[in-house]
């Protein structure tokens, strides 16, 4: 795709503008940090936080979903932006604590939390633990009792895997991987409300990923608040927090419309006005957990063309990095926008296959990207990879070096995670003396 097309579909802000990444020369970045590398525009992340915050009415809070991008510098910048954090592992707990987050602004989600992870969360003073089952509820209660703590919790509601958020669709009587059916959750709520070591705050549900329909997103919030009100009433407690999860989407393909933030804000404001008329809901807080919305457009993966083959009309470009570093296009079968980072504007656009260096047919980023005919040495960027980029990939496959990660703030680029070589990884392995 052309650079102009990349800019026009970048939503609020894409990292690529006028041939530069976060305002810097791609060639200079490649010279300093070597390819392949990830680059993140921290200023852009801050602008996206403010854009979302500006449309939210009273009583809404933002918690960054750390799984989207757990790079320490990115997480620490979001802490400085004043958001909370949504974590899903003990490792992410350590990350947010090191990044300076107030534990009271951290929520721990995810199925299969170990006792060690639950203990670490309680000891750290994590503000919310999302409880996924009655078994987890009892394990957490026992841990909190042993530690002499009272742990605030939300109960996670199960929704069907094909939910599209027109309503929250319950799984019914079948337990799924995530959360509890409503009947089970209501029983768990009564149990939690009776415990002296648990503090039941409300409910949580996550409906679907990467939605750009403001009406559906707001509808999910409305439905979940109503369910939370019913559950709290059954348990005899006040509904203090409803966690509506993430799901705020970004446009990946050319021509896709971004989420209408203004409409989303209007719908949430209408809901807030309605809740304010109810004594049971007037003081309730709604927590949103965006990940990719905040960081996705602010990141790019940059690799260099090492070989070009095939006819001029349909070339195949082989890069020095592939799905070992950026697996999302293959994993979800959705191509990311590509851009050849060149100042040579006279090259004709041709249908190009862009692939990585791995010995697998899966290692293909696109089979029909319209790009300036590639040349060996060109830099190619996969855009919108500030979320679910390196963190979701498979860097051990075929023992290639790991990419560097670079952050840009106020026009200054800094290395935030260096390349890791196969030699360094081998040095951590052992061939036992049998």
> If DSSP codes are grouped into helix, strand and coil, which group holds residue 92?
helix
Question: CA 135 → CA 56, 114, 152, 189, 198, distances in Å?
Answer: 35, 12, 17, 13, 14
Distance of CA 313 to the CA centre of its chain: 37
Q: What is the DSSP letter of 336?
A: P
Across 211-240, b (16+ Cβ under 10 Å) vs e yields bbbbebbbbbbbbbbebbbebbeebebebb
Q: How far apart are CA 197 and CA 405, in angstroms?
A: 42
Catalytic residue, candidates 174, 359, 410, 426:
359
Across 304-322, b (16+ Cβ under 10 Å) vs e yields bbbebeeeeeebbbbbbbb
Tens digits of per-residue pLDDT, 191-222? 999 999 999 999 999 878 899 999 999 999 99
Bond prior to 365 in cis (omega within 30° of 0): no
Q: How far apart are CA 318 and CA 307, in angstroms?
A: 5
Is 81 in the active site? no
Q: Within 9-60, where are the H helices?
A: 26-33, 42-55
pTM across the whole model = 0.94
> If DSSP codes are grouped into helix, strand and coil, which group holds residue 50?
helix
Question: Could you please report the per-residue DSSP string of 260-329?
Answer: -HHHHHHHHHHHHHHHHT-TTTTT-EEEE--SHHHHGGGEEEEEEEEEEES-TTS-EEEES--TTT--HH
Q: What is the DSSP letter of 259?
A: P
Tens digits of per-residue pLDDT, 108-164? 999 999 999 999 999 999 999 999 999 999 999 999 999 999 999 999 999 875 544
- CATH numbers and ranges of domains, the chain: 3-41+296-424 (2.40.37.10), 110-288 (3.20.20.10)
Tens digit of each residue's pLDDT, the chain (434 residues): 333 333 333 345 799 999 999 999 999 999 999 999 999 999 999 999 999 999 999 999 999 999 999 999 999 999 999 999 999 999 999 999 999 999 999 999 999 999 999 999 999 999 999 999 999 999 999 999 999 999 999 999 998 755 443 444 544 556 789 999 999 999 999 999 999 999 999 999 987 889 999 999 999 999 999 999 999 999 999 999 999 999 999 999 888 899 999 999 999 999 999 999 999 999 999 999 999 999 999 999 999 999 999 999 999 999 999 999 999 988 888 788 999 997 665 788 999 999 999 999 999 999 989 999 999 999 999 999 999 999 999 999 999 999 999 999 999 999 999 999 999 999 999 999 99
Q: Nearest Cα to 197, choosing from 154, 246, 240, 138?
A: 138
Distance of CA 376 to the CA centre of its chain: 33
Question: Could you please report the per-residue DSSP string of 368-414?
Answer: EEEEEPP-TT-EEEEES-SSSSGGGS-TTGGGPPBPEEEEEETTEEE
């Amino acid at each position: 795709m052309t650079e102009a097309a990349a800019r026009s579909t970048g939503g609020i802000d894409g990292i690529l503008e006028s041939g530069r990444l976060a305002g810097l020369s791609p060639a200079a970045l490649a010279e300093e940090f070597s390819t392949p590398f990830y680059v993140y525009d921290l200023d852009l992340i801050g602008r996206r936080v403010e854009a979302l915050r500006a449309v939210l009415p009273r009583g809404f809070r933002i918690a960054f979903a750390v799984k989207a991008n757990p790079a320490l510098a990115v997480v620490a910048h979001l802490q400085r932006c004043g958001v909370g954090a949504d974590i899903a592992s003990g490792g992410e707990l350590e990350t947010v604590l090191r990044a300076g987050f107030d534990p009271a602004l951290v929520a721990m989600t995810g199925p299969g939390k170990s006792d060690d992870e639950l203990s670490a969360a309680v000891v750290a003073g994590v503000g919310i633990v999302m409880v996924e089952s009655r078994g987890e509820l009892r394990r957490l209660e026992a841990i909190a009792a042993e530690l002499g703590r009272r742990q605030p919790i939300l109960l996670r509601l199960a929704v069907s895997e094909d939910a599209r958020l027109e309503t929250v669709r319950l799984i019914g009587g079948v337990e799924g991987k995530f959360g509890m059916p409503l009947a089970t959750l209501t029983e768990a709520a009564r149990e939690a409300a009776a415990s002296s070591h648990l503090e039941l705050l409300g409910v949580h549900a996550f409906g679907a990923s990467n939605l750009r329909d403001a009406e559906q997103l707001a509808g999910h919030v409305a439905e979940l608040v109503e369910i939370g009100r019913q559950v709290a009433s059954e348990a005899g407690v006040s509904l203090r927090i409803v966690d509506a999860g993430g799901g705020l989407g970004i446009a990946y393909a050319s021509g896709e419309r971004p989420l209408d933030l203004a409409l989303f804000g209007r719908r949430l404001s209408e809901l807030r006005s309605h809740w304010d008329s109810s004594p049971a809901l007037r003081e309730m807080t709604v927590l949103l957990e965006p990940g990719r919305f905040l960081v996705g457009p602010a990141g790019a993966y940059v690799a260099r063309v090492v070989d070009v083959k095939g006819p001029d009309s349909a070339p195949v470009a082989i890069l020095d990095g592939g799905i070992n570093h950026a697996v999302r296009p293959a994993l979800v079968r959705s191509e990311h926008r590509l851009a050849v980072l060149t100042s040579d504007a006279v090259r004709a656009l041709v249908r190009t296959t862009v692939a990585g260096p791995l010995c697998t047919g899966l290692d293909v980023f696109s089979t029909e990207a319209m790009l300036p005919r590639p040349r060996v040495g060109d830099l190619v960027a996969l855009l919108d990879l500030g979320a679910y980029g390196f963190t979701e990939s498979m860097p051990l496959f075929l023992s290639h070096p790991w990419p560097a990660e670079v952050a840009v703030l106020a026009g200054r680029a800094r290395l935030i995670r260096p390349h890791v070589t196969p030699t360094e990884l081998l040095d951590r392995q052992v061939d036992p003396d049998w």
